[in-house]
């Protein structure tokens, strides 16, 4: 694996999750699952993150926040929607304030279903995201090169 895939830093954002998925995301950093094995750090800073993990569907209030966080992350970046709420809106789909899944606001690269998504499948999703991140990185490097020439 090349540079980026070896050092992916996560940003976890709770859009409007019931907190079930959030606990599972935090579980990934515990000794039992230890995502730091893959060099993954859970940073709280969009400026330093490569992967955006979002739990829960997007509602009217957090829509602008999601957009802002996404725009603050430097390229190349990927988005992982964790939990069925983040994928489609889930059980909250028909609520009057819910817009739907995360992909109604920003482009999503990996969908991790489950209610709540298990730590194993979250880690699986993140590792999938690493491949996409690598492809994006290569494309980004190419575009930088063509910018210069």
Partner 1 sequence: MMRVLSVLLFLVLAPLVGALLDGIDRIISARMQGRQGPPLLQPFYDLAKLFSKQMVAVNSVQMLLNLSYLFFLAVAGAMLFAGADILMCLFILSTADMFLVMAASSDSSPFATLGAGREMIQMMAYEPLTLLMAVGFYLATGSFHVGDIIQMPHSAVLAMPGFLVGFFFITAIKLRKSPFDLSTSHHAHQEMVKGITTEMSGPTLGIMTVAEYYEMILMLGIVALFFLDAHWWSWIIAIVACLVIFFLEILWDNVSARVKWEQMLGSCWGVTLLTGGLNALILMLIR
43 sits near partner 1 (criterion: CB under 8 A): yes
Tell me: does residue 44 bind partner 1 (CB under 8 A).
yes
138 binds partner 1 (CB under 8 A): no
Under the binding rule (CB under 8 A), the answer on residue 140 touching partner 1 is yes
100 binds ligand SF4 (CB under 6 A): no
Site for ligand SF4 in 50-89 (CB under 6 A): 55-56, 83-85
Q: Is 3 in the site for partner 1 (CB under 8 A)?
A: yes
Which residues have CB under 8 Å from 141's CB, separation 6+?
A: none
Tokens standing for residue 55 = 């739990």
Binds ligand SF4 by CB under 6 A, chosen from 1, 65, 91, 95 = 91
Separation between Cα atoms, residue 93 and residue 146, nearest integer Å: 43
Strands 51-55, 9-14: pairing is parallel
Q: Given candidates 74, 95, 120, 139, which one binds partner 1 under the rule CB under 8 A?
A: 74
Spatial neighbors of 58 by CB under 8 A, at least 6 apart, are 15, 16, 66, 98, 99, 100, 101, 102, 104, 105
Question: Among 74, 46, 63, 47, which Cα is nearest to 103's?
Answer: 63
Q: Does 38 bind partner 1 (CB under 8 A)?
A: yes
Residues that bind ligand SF4 (CB under 6 A): 17-18, 20-21, 55-56, 83-85, 90-91, 115-116
């Amino acid at each position: 694996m090349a540079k980026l895939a070896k050092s992916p830093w996560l940003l976890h954002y709770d859009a409007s999750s019931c907190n079930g998925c959030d606990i599972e995301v935090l579980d990934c950093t515990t000794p039992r699952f230890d995502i730091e094995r893959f060099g993954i750090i859970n940073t709280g800073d969009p400026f330093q993150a490569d992967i955006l993990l979002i739990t829960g569907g997007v509602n009217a209030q957090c829509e602008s926040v999601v957009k802002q966080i996404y725009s603050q992350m430097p390229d190349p970046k990927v988005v992982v929607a964790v939990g069925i709420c983040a994928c489609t809106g889930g059980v909250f789909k028909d609520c009057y304030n819910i817009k739907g899944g995360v992909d109604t606001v920003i482009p999503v690269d990996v969908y991790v279903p489950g209610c709540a998504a298990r730590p194993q499948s979250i880690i699986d999703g993140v590792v999938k995201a690493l491949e996409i991140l690598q492809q994006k990185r290569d494309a980004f490097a190419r575009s930088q090169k063509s910018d210069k020439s």
